[in-house]
Amino acid sequence: MKFLLSFLISVVLFTSCGKDNKTNHSVRDSEKTDSQTDPQGSLSSTGSKTGDDGLRNISYEPGKLPASVKYSGKVVAGAKWDDKNGNNLLIITETEEVKQKEDFRMKELFAYQFIVNGEETKLLWRLNDLIKDCPLDITLSFIPKSLTITDLDNNGIAENTLIYKMSCKGDVSPDDMKLIMHEAETKYAIRGMMLLETPEGKFGNDMKVDPSFDSAPKEFLPYAKEEWEKFKTEKLGN
């Protein structure tokens, strides 16, 4: 009887050990991984999980650029990652103010995405915006930490989103703001005016969604609006 009881206990224990005890692990927004952290320590928001064909090796430091990468201005931000298109490199650059005739000046902002194969590069797209013939104060600058690399539609091809502000003015008023998103060569945009908060009140706060989002995957516009809201506010005074 004791032998039979011992045998039954052994069978139960052996059967329990053979069950599948695997658990799935997904990275939470608050978790920090080397591939998701930019130089300032903020995390990219993929908004979705990626599979075997998803994004890999995301870095918010462009590193040493291949000699074949040609650009204008000074690099102010960048990223690199791998996806179905290959090895990707994105850089954002700004020029210094250039004096034109009399007291007029100009400044430019650029962004470039390259596909890198060793020392060879292919330009996927180029963005150029500028302010010229400005006799007042020029603002044309990338908004820090607004560059993100995502795969919102889980197709294995990254989207990149960046935001910058611009103005030519001699008073206290809101800057214009632009959000540009690319998935490969396809461009999407939101344009408008920042929200300026001062002790005297709030000014600006205008957003116009480009029709390009009409044909975009459904995940793109909510994400773009969320990023816009995150960076739209400028505060002056107390």
Enumerate the domain spans of the chain. 34-235
Write the pLDDT tens digit of every residue in 181-198.
999 999 999 999 999 999
List the beta bridge partners of residue 131: 107
Q: What is the DSSP letter of 36?
A: G
Residues 106-111 have a mean pLDDT of 98
Question: Locate tokens 């090895």: which residue?
Answer: 87
User: Which position has the higher pLDDT, 7 or 32?
Assistant: 7
What percent of the chain is predicted at pLDDT more than 70? 77
Write the pLDDT tens digit of every residue in 5-16.
343 334 333 333
User: Which position has the higher pLDDT, 13 or 235?
Assistant: 235
pLDDT at 238 (0 to 100): 57
Dist CA 146 CA 127 (whole Å): 16
Lookup: tokens for 54: 């998803």
Highest mean pLDDT among 14-18, 61-65, 150-154: 150-154
Lookup: tokens for 152: 């919102």
pLDDT at 89 (0 to 100): 98
Q: Is the pLDDT of residue 48 over 80?
A: no
What is the rounded average pLDDT for all residues in the chain?
82
Residues 218-236 have a mean pLDDT of 97
User: Which position has the higher pLDDT, 17 or 221?
Assistant: 221
How big is the chain by its Cα radius of gyration, in Å?
25
Residues 136-140 have a mean pLDDT of 96
